[in-house]
Amino acid sequence: MKVVVCAKKDLAGCVALNRLLAAIAPRHDVFVVLSDYVLDAECSNAYAASLVAHERNMVLEHILPWLEARFPEGNEAQCQTYAGLKKRYGIDMEMWGPMRSPASRQAMRDLAPDVVISCRYDYVIPTEVIDMPRLGTYGMHPGALPDLQGLCSPFRAMEHGNERSGCTLFHLDAGLDTGPIVEIGWWPINYDRSLLWNFVHTYFAGIDALLRHLPELEAGRELTTHVQSSEGRKYFSYPTEDEFRRFIRKGGQIVLPEDYHEVLSWFLPGGLADPAMPELRALVSSLES
């Protein structure tokens, strides 16, 4: 199959892309479209800014370049940088900007994909693009639809005290998180760990759900879906400063050092025991100070 994956340039986007490509890139012709768009709300208060700094700024500006300088020929770690993924799988990646633009729509038309997968992608995908692939365009929303529409849904799941966080695999349509559902992948929330940790693993649950249905796509069949119920549907905006503050007062953590270090260790061949880990910890500490 010709598969186009639309993904985000940040830590959660990179580790999710690693998990997805490990399963599909060796078997299919894959092209990756990247986005890098930060909402104003993601920088609107100190808590949000700290999260986006750990998710994006520190990673793109310092940590990934550090990894690529230390391992210029790549390594055998479970996760690779974007450059490492291109080398490992021999695939192309490009930044296109908004998918609504004429240039992006034409580029997708030229690729003529069999299937499009949107995994932590920033931009709205227009109906014209949704309708292009013969096997469908599928999204992974890191919240259990229809209950948790909108932004930062794992935060809402933890805020509500839910036992698990869902990532909904669904067929995109003209609405926002309204398309028919294939399956919800579930991650049991660990309240001893941070929002960032549970966020990353919520995406993993969605990817694993997609992979369970991959044989259907490989057989040339669109995935079976069911229409979302409109009951209980609620859209959540990005958390406000007060909401983050209440979350922390109740014992929640946005980013924990041990969680952050462990996710970053996935990019090292020896994981947490890798000889480079102390240097990576020191780099993170310098960026946080």
pLDDT for the residue numbered 73: 85
* pLDDT by 10s per residue, the chain, length 289: 999 999 999 999 999 999 999 999 999 999 999 999 999 989 899 999 999 999 999 999 999 999 999 999 889 999 999 999 999 999 999 999 999 999 999 999 999 999 999 999 999 999 999 999 999 999 999 999 999 999 999 999 999 999 999 999 999 999 999 999 999 999 999 999 999 999 999 999 999 999 999 999 999 999 999 999 888 788 899 999 999 999 999 999 999 999 999 999 999 999 999 999 999 999 999 999 8
156: Cβ contacts below 8 Å, ≥ 6 apart: 143, 148, 150, 236
Q: Quick one: tokens of 261?
A: 């270090």
pLDDT for the residue numbered 11: 98
pLDDT for the residue numbered 160: 97
Instruction: Measure CA 224 to chain center.
Output: 23
Q: Is 283 exposed, middle or buried (0-12, 13-18, 19+ CB in 10 A)?
A: middle
pLDDT for the residue numbered 41: 86
Q: Which amino acid is at 146?
A: P
Q: Are the C-beta atoms of 130 and 137 separated by less than 8 Å?
A: yes
User: Three-state DSSP class for 7?
Assistant: strand
DSSP state of 132: S
Q: What is the pTM of this model?
A: 0.97
User: Rounded to an integer, what distance in angstroms lies between the CA atom of residue 12 and that of residue 63?
Assistant: 14
Q: Are the C-beta atoms of 175 and 139 separated by less than 8 Å?
A: no
Query: Which residues of the chain form beta strands (DSSP E)?
Result: 2-8, 29-35, 92-95, 115-119, 137-141, 149-150, 164-171, 181-188, 235-236
DSSP state of 60: I
Q: Are the C-beta atoms of 263 and 11 separated by less than 8 Å?
A: yes
Kindly list the structural domains of the chain, giving each domain's residue range(s) and its CATH number in brackets, ordered by start: 2-288 (3.40.50.170)
User: Rounded to an integer, what distance in angstroms lies between the CA atom of residue 208 and that of residue 289?
Assistant: 36
DSSP state of 62: I
